[in-house]
Structure 1
Amino acid sequence: MDLMGMMGKLKETQQKIEDTKKRLDTVLIDEQSTDGLLKVTLTANRSVKSITIDDSLLEDKEQLEDYMILVINKAIEKATKVNEAELDAVAKMDMPMIPGMDNLFK
């Protein structure tokens, strides 16, 4: 087993993962309520970029809070899927299969 080669490969993969994480900061995920009154934009790294609230939602604090929770959670779910798919692709592409190593990048 070529340990030096594997360590080099591991470093390379870690670098690719870092690069992918940086790139995911520029991937935007848009989500909105079914009536379009609340819109949220996240990065694929699950960082909120913008929230747009229709004035009609400002009348009803409880409805607005419900909308926020619902829409933000949906956006986080979408962003998480994109994030995991991208990082999995990098890890699978470059990783020599070593038993027990597949949990390292989770």
Structure 2
Amino acid sequence: MFGDMMNMMGKLKETQQKIEATKQRLHTVLIDEQSHDGLLKVTLTANRTLKSVTIDDSLLADKEQLEDYLILVLNKAIERASSVNETELAAVAKEGMPNIPGMDKFF
């Protein structure tokens, strides 16, 4: 029984290390998003860090329109980045979890 507990603790520590490695890797996964007409483009990492914004000159004439574009495109990009982030981290966490009855519904 004590050996099982030590084995489980070791596996949890290994899983924690894998999660940290995955978080670091997600800094290099880039999510590109753009407006429907291509006038605004953004790039985020899967950890939701903004890397670049490209704005067509035609959007600079109308502040409200530019603000609307930024909100829409950034929200879409953040949603996609969050989905990638959560999927990747959940996969690593599930892989490393000990087989405890009932825990599968949490992942």
**Do Structure 1 and Structure 2 share a fold, with TM-score over 0.5?**
yes
80-89 or 18-27: bigger deviation: 80-89
2:85 aligned to 72, 83, 86, which one? 83
Find out whether 1:56 has 2:39 as its counterpart. Answer: no
Residues 32-59 of structure 1: CA deviation (Å, up to 9, x unaligned):
0000000000000011000001111000
- Per the TM alignment, residue 102 of structure 1 is displaced from its structure 2 partner at its CA by 7.5
Q: Which residue of 1 aligns with 2:38?
A: 36
Q: Which residue of 2 aligns with 1:9?
A: 11
- Per the TM alignment, residue 93 of structure 1 is displaced from its structure 2 partner at its CA by 1.1
SS in 1 for 2:98: coil
Of structures 1 and 2, the larger Rg is shown by 2
Cα-Cα RMSD = 1.8
SS in 1 for 2:20: helix
The structure-2 alpha-carbon separation of the partners of 1:102 and 1:12, relative to structure 1 and needing over 3 Å to count, comes to: farther
SS in 1 for 2:78: helix
The separation in 2 between residues aligned to 1:51 and 1:101, in whole angstroms, is 40
SS in 2 for 1:49: strand
- Per the TM alignment, residue 92 of structure 1 is displaced from its structure 2 partner at its CA by 1.1
TM-score under structure 2 normalisation?
Answer: 0.90
The separation in 1 between residues aligned to 2:95 and 2:104, in whole angstroms, is 14
Task: Identify unmatched segments of 5+ residues in structure 2.
Answer: none
**1:13 alignment partner AA:** T
The separation in 2 between residues aligned to 1:97 and 1:88, in whole angstroms, is 15
The separation in 1 between residues aligned to 2:69 and 2:49, in whole angstroms, is 18
Task: Identify unmatched segments of 5+ residues in structure 1.
Answer: none
SS in 2 for 1:51: strand
Aligned pairs, how many?
A: 104
